[in-house]
Amino acid sequence: MAEEAKPPVPPPPPEGEKKPAAEGRAAPASAEAAKPAAPAKPAGPVPVPWTSPLVEKYKGQYGSGLDAQTYLGQNYFAVDRSLIPDILRLLRDEEQFDYCVDITAVHYLQREKQFDVVWILYSFPRNERVRVKTQIADGASIPSSVSLWATANWLEREVYDMFGIQFDGHPDLKRILLPDGWKGHPLRKDYGILQQDNEWVQINLGIESGQ
Amino acid sequence: MNDSTHDVSNRALSNLDLETSEKPYLDSNELIINMGPQHPATHGVLRVILKLDGEKVLGTECVIGYLHRGVEKIAENRTYTMFNPYVDRMDYVAAVSNGLGYCEAVEKLMNVEAPARAKYIRVILTELNRIASHQLWLGTHALDIGAMTPLFYTFRDREEILKIFEKYCGARLTTHAFRIGGCQYETYAGFEKEVKNFLTFVAPKIDEYEELLTTNRIWIERTKNVGVISALDAIALGVTGPVLRASGVKWDLRKAQPYAAYSEFDFDIPTGTNGDTYDRYLVRMAEMRQSLRIIEQAVNRIPEGPIMAKVPKIIKPPVGEIYHSIEAPKGELGYFIVSDGSTQPYRLRVRPPSFVNLQALDTMVRGLLVADVVAVIGTIDIVLGEVDR
């Protein structure tokens, strides 16, 4: 939060938690040299606003609930959770994003809304890809998109299996890769790499530990 | 069957429910049998629960995960460089493709580009791998259906590709052929000649496979109009690769969103019309020939120069996220990588073509006979290492 207080020129990337380290190093060197050097130092690519007729249309419709960015030539929407059903439906029905490539999630343990849920969509007619992502809290659910893309069935089951995110309206939300009785969701950041459901292993495999 | 093909989503909703089914199982004509996980025709450890009416399949449910190794979790605990060999173990019959996708994704995240020579080497090896993957598919698929000879033919010829891999990088299957930024190894002396020899060697062999099968009456009976999937269903189910193309969708990532050096080569995208097992067979056969075309162009025009871009010893991509996908032999193989600026990926998601394509099995086998399930599992071309990761 401290990096918000000092407002130097470069626009901080939304995910930029690492920023203070880079600036902290540059500042003690010399006070006046820092000014021209600072914008040059963080050389890496930065997300820039994504402008297109599609974005204009949705911005007008949904305003601040929707943010459109381009990073390394890839476009994405960061959307409020409440707008997700609308946005996904519009993208499929009106913008021809007829192919749901992937649905996945990312866990940020320190954040208040712990999960990013990401939809990767592709449009055959437009030959264009777009990502839609939203943030949800641990324990919160998200509407299922199985009615939009049948492929979402297994993809959502995998997200549920690995992260424990609930998809409302999914026809058969159960584990897919791990066994049904397994406890825990392995791709959460608080699930250790050596951690296992030892109880399950002992009962079902008859061995002391899977390690 | 025809009236139900346009609405996939409803069918997904009416998934068969074994636990809470109101009908007693053995009271009616319905029978539930278990196929796999230890079954020679499931190409690994895939378990399919079949709901049958006599010989007719009313519904299926796939039980997967027997080979789950937590590849995505492992990625979060390894550096970018250390994780590179792991990707070979997903689709282990097309390890080179996996490596290509991963290296290109990380390169994109770091905003570097492999040198032209490296790109050409990558294309040659990846296309050789595509042929090897299709050969293995053909041999096992034909064996499942009852034709034993193609297995011997394809394995005999696939050996030549593996020999080239072995000479290039020391490994035959899990090659770890590429590095982030380019290739580790320069081609060995005589590489180009051997590849050209292979091209002249294998072209007539592909004709030979076709002679065995394409007009074979048993083959046609077992594959024509079996496992039909319409283009609309295929798109809704996210099916990619030869399965999608056999349904008539002319879509190949090598053309749609070219990566590596593919934009520099001339090749066609073979497609089918019926979306049945026979068309998928024809599409893959034609793809092998297209791969030969690509390799021939690449090996004749391979540029001189470095094979490695300037990449730091310790790979630390800037904060950000990227999705990059390639046309693997089985379909769209994608990597979604989130970097937090450290040496390890914060999150690495693999979008596996086999996993997504397998989901279409239920749509493809409803109403068919049990023996056709075997044919359809073969025609989807799954590798369970990739399905389960």
* CA angle B100–B176–B39, rounded 5-degree value: 90
Distance CA A150, CA A119 (A): 14
Q: With 70 as the cut, is the pLDDT of residue B259 above it?
A: yes
**Chain A: closest CA distance from residue B211 (Å):** 35
Partner-chain contact A127 B338, CB within 8 Å:
no
| Residue B136 pLDDT > 70 | yes
B12 neighbourhood in chain A, CB within 8 Å: 146, 150, 153, 171
* pLDDT above 90: residue A74: no
Nearest to A171 among B12, B322, B356 (CB): B12
Smallest CA–CA distance from B66 into chain A, residue = A177
Q: How confident is the model at residue A41 (pLDDT cuts 50, 70, 90)?
A: very low
pLDDT for position A192: 84
Nearest to A154 among B108, B346, B355 (CB): B355
Q: Is the pLDDT of residue B91 over 50?
A: yes
For the segment A96-120, the average pLDDT, to the nearest whole number, is 90
CB contact under 8 A, A155 and B334: no
pLDDT by residue (tens digit) across B28-78? 678 888 887 777 766 778 888 888 888 888 889 889 988 888 899 999 999
Mark yes or no for CB contact B347/A151 under 8 Å: no
Please indicate whether, in this complex, the C-beta atoms of A17 and B15 are within 8 angstroms of each other. no
* Gap between the Cα atoms of B284 and B223, Å rounded: 14
CB pairs under 8 A between A and B: 123
Q: Which residues of A touch B76 (CB under 8 A)?
A: 193
From the CA of A30, how many Å to the nearest CA of chain B? Answer: 25
Q: How far apart are the CA of A110 and the nearest CA of chain B, in angstroms?
A: 13
Residue B335 has pLDDT above 90, yes or no: yes
Check B320 against A193: CB less than 8 A apart: no
Is the pLDDT at B313 greater than 90, yes or no?
no
Q: Which residue has the higher pLDDT, A99 or A198?
A: A99
- Which chain B residue's Cα is nearest to A210? B69
In the structure, what pLDDT confidence band is assigned to residue B12 with cuts at 50, 70 and 90?
A: very low
Least confident of A74-88, B13-27, B289-303, B362-376: B13-27
Segment A24-41 shows an average pLDDT of 41
Q: Which of A101, A129, A131 to substitute to test the interface with B, most B CBs within 10 Å?
A: A101
**Token pair 């162009």: residue:** B297
Can you tell me the distance from the alpha carbon of B345 to that of B110, in angstroms, rounded to the nearest whole number?
Answer: 12
Q: What is the mean pLDDT of chain A?
A: 77
**Which of B62, B229, B235, B344 would best serve as a mutation to test chain A binding (most A beta carbons within 10 A)?**
B235
Model pLDDT for residues B262-272, shown as the tens digit of each residue: 988 999 999 99
Residues near A60 by beta carbon (within 8 Å), at least 6 away in sequence: none
Average pLDDT over residues B142-164: 90
Test mutation, B323, B324, B333, B388, chain A, max A CBs within 10 A: B323
Q: Is the pLDDT of residue B180 over 60?
A: yes
Beta bridge partners of B71: none
Cross-chain residue pair B12–A74, CB shorter than 8 Å: no
Question: What is residue A201's predicted lDDT score, i.e. its pLDDT?
Answer: 83
Domain residue ranges in chain B: 3-63, 71-388
Per-residue pLDDT, averaged over B101-128, amounts to 91
Place A160 in a pLDDT band, splitting at 50, 70 and 90. very high
- When pLDDT is averaged across residues B215-237 and rounded to a whole number, the result is 90
* Confidence label for B316 from pLDDT (cuts 50, 70 and 90): confident
Q: Is it the case that residue A52 has pLDDT exceeding 90?
A: no
For an interface test with A, which of B18, B73, B86, B111 has the most A Cβ atoms less than 10 Å from its Cβ? Answer: B73
Range with the poorest average pLDDT among A12-26, B281-295, B335-349: A12-26
CA A55 to chain centroid, in Å, comes to 19
Mean pLDDT of A190-198: 83
Query: Looking at domain B71-388, which CATH architecture does it have?
Result: Orthogonal Bundle (1.10)
Measured in angstroms, the CA of B374 and the nearest CA of chain A are apart by 21
Residue A23: pLDDT over 50: no
Of A18, A102, A193, the CB nearest to B336: A102
pLDDT tens-digit profile of A131-149? 999 999 888 889 999 988 9
- Cβ <8 Å between A171 and B319: no
**Interface predicted TM-score (ipTM):** 0.82
Non-local (6+) Cβ contacts of B250 within 8 A are B269, B271
A25 to chain B, closest Cα gap in Å = 16
Residue whose entry in the numeric block shows the structure tokens 């409020």: A80
Checking if the pLDDT of A22 tops 60, the result is no
What is the residue-averaged pLDDT of chain B? 87
At B111 the pLDDT is 86
Q: Which of B77, B322, B388 sits opposite A193 (nearest CB)?
A: B77
Q: Is B72 within 8 Å of B389 (Cβ atoms)?
A: yes
User: Across the interface, do A45 and B318 touch by the CB < 8 Å criterion?
Assistant: yes
Instruction: Pick the range with the lowest mean pLDDT from A75-84, B41-50, B175-184, B233-242.
Output: B41-50
CA–CA min distance B206, chain A (Å): 31
Tokens of residue B23, six digits: 């009908």
Which chain A residue shows the shortest CA-CA distance from B9?
Answer: A150
- Beta strands (DSSP E) in chain A are 48-49, 66-71, 74-79, 99-107, 115-123, 128-136, 141-143, 166-168
Count CB-CB contacts under 10 A for residue B297.
Answer: 18
Token pair 């993957």: residue: B133
Look at residue B353 in the predicted model and tell me its pLDDT: 92
pLDDT of residue B195: 92
Q: Do B13 and A146 touch (CB under 8 A)?
A: yes
Which range (A20-34, A194-208, B212-226, B300-314) has the least confidence?
A20-34
Q: Out of B9, B65, B347, whose CB is closest to A177?
A: B65
Residue B104: the pLDDT is 92
Tokens at residue B79, please? Answer: 């550096």
pTM (2 d.p.): 0.81
Higher pLDDT, A14 or B313: B313
pLDDT confidence of A44, banded at 50, 70, 90? Answer: low
Alpha helices in B111-177 (DSSP H): 116-145, 149-169
